[in-house]
Structure 1
Amino acid sequence: MADNRVVVYKGPGEVAVESIDYPKLELPQDVVSGLGIKRAAPHAVILKLVTSNICGSDQHMVRGRTTAPVGQTLGHEITGEIVEIGDDVLFHEVGDICSVPFNIACGRCRMCNEGKTGICLNVNPARAGAAYGYVDMGGWLGGQAEYVMVPFADFNLLKFPDRDQALEKILDLTMLSDIFPTGYHGAYTAGVTTGSTVYVAGAGPVGLAAAYSAQLLGASTVIVGDMNADRLKQAASFGCETADLSSGDALADIIDDILGEPVVDAAVDAVGFEARGHGRDAAEQPATVLNDIMDVARAGASLGIPGLYVTGDPGAVDDAAKQGQIGVRLGLGWAKSHTFVTGQCPVKQYNRQLMNLILADKAHIAEAVNAKTISLDEAPAGYAAFDQGAATKYVIDPHGMVS
């Protein structure tokens, strides 16, 4: 019986909202058969979605730039209310409103015990690490839905301490599932600290979150680079300097004009594998941003790379890039003794502290990323607008719970 609805990938450029069965307290068959574990999941809960956001990572799939099959359910940014609870869930109750890290983690393996929840060993037979509603990430159903199952709930869920306060600040709190921790991770692993000068490549939601996080970490100047005027305007709205890469001017020269020197203390790649060269009509050049940040980061700097890179891109510009091989000037980074930090953000390392900042009215991330609420039925339109470069973070509100 279909008692749930979810956003589904229908082919390049197309998504739809379809009816599916109400979730059960069971693990996906791919995980069960691939890892040889029990299907019953008494450690899980069912959430009624309060909010679920459209992410740039989702857009890579919808553009046909991954190996995602038609029918792939979408959505990994999940905030919800517990409506059903497994017998082995000890520390959560029906009615709790919780943030869900986009990384699915068992809480029991070596990686989880080391705090590396983005590469859990027990949730995806294909590789380390899993996520909701994403290709090659274990077969977990997506959370751009009315209801979703969350496994290992005691470990994965971050409960908001006060329901009324949570609903009042829900547009900020919904960012805890992914982009706020991911942006913070990018800035933090780039070594941003008091007085740092910072370059953030990309003014999409993750780039804006990284720029905002750099300010929280004490940066003196944050420069955001992009070719989208509206997104650059959004970055400027909370105090960032901007680099308009559509001008064709050298990035180092733009930074020199702002700082009086052509280098920064820390740099963040919030773009990923669909990067384009500089100039208004520049073609796709997937290594552009990585080479840029090596070029403008001073010797000895760290480079935070939360932007997504994939092992399979059927729409890539050449055969090498189709396998994730791109022309990175690694010798430059080696010569400058740069530190590279890549991979999924381990959300649980940051989400509680960032929640506390939001609840204490010290962080207003929804304003920084220009959050806008839409209904579940409006999700296809939200995807289309986001793909056209809207300077907006679309927040799906399936049950009309956002005031």
Structure 2
Amino acid sequence: MRYFPAGLFMLIVLAGNGYVLTQTVIDGSGPDVNTLGPTCLTSDGKVGVCVPNFQCNFETNVVDPGATIDLRTQSCPNILDICCLREEIAGSKTVKKMPQCGFSNPGAVELKTKPTLVGEAEYGEFPWMVALLRSTAPDQAWSQDDYIGGGSIIHPKVVLTAAHKVARYIESEVKCRAGEWDTSNTDENYLTQERQVEKIIQHEDFFDLQAYNNIALLVLKESFNFNDAPHMGIACVGKVLPPLGTQCYTMGWGKAATGKYATILKKIQLPLLDSDQCQHTLRNTRLGSRFLLHPSHICAGGIAGVDTCKGDGGSPLVCNIGNGTVVRYAIIGLVSSGVGCGKKNVPGIYSNVPYLYSWLLDAMNEEKLQSKIFTLE
């Protein structure tokens, strides 16, 4: 049996907007301020740390460095030390704002560069979406020959994708571009960010002929920077499948109905299907009567003309897990394989992310990377 690589075919409109919350994370670079001097009070009553004069960033520190040497206005035991706010210590760990997982970004949507058509994602609507490119590609120009597939940011330093998209590459041959929307335009509201892949972690039981356990993590050499990047964000990763019939969405730059690859990020809406019914349906295709749907697979779609197709394997299938008017998405599938594109009653096959969730956690722990960033509260 042979499966076609999956991508995007025909697209329809997604309703509803989400919003962005923030959480605080600590960057691991620089000295740990906890190993510096004792705490103290600045001249205006703020809590700081006693450090040598040269370690305090006077350009941004609100405290007059001359005044802080006066022991009557601060409590540093060494007269040569000054009381410096922790965030102003030169080379200290810095606090960064990072979006909570799963929220769409209406702030970036309002800054879209032009009206979108039916089936086109809004600018920043799926802020976790990543394009996998050959590392030889220019930083800004887009060539379809360099496009590998889709992926999702689940950690500032980790992209989730399908194993079949990266199985034939080594780390130095792949890079990840975040913040992309219109591949024909480099003059958008915010810049894209590209990161080289440092390590490819592929499921040890991935079987390419049947796309079993089709999942991989790309650990980046450098984290994505979410400061001043409202069009970028983190995806949540689903632990359980939503009820059957739930309308979910996938997105990407794969082929459209015309047979041409999309330039503006597309989106389609697909219902989740029962696995037994999906297996029965697929047995009536060229896959034959002995076809078995693996537990690492789920099915979605089956609507004529609305399907994933060549060019976008690895892109996420996300479902709304928000409450009431709150729209929040979790990845429950990865575009994996299918039989043709857009055939009536023939669903697409996706990696079952909740089934593979424990592998994902183990892989993150092995790399000493926090998983709570993509975990639903």
Interval of TM-score (by shorter of Structure 1 and Structure 2) = under 0.3
* Larger RCO: 1 or 2 (CA < 8 Å, sep 6+): 2
Bigger helix share: 1
TM-score by length of 1: 0.22
Return the structure number with greater strand share. Answer: 2
If you compute each CA radius of gyration, which structure gives the higher value, 1 or 2?
2
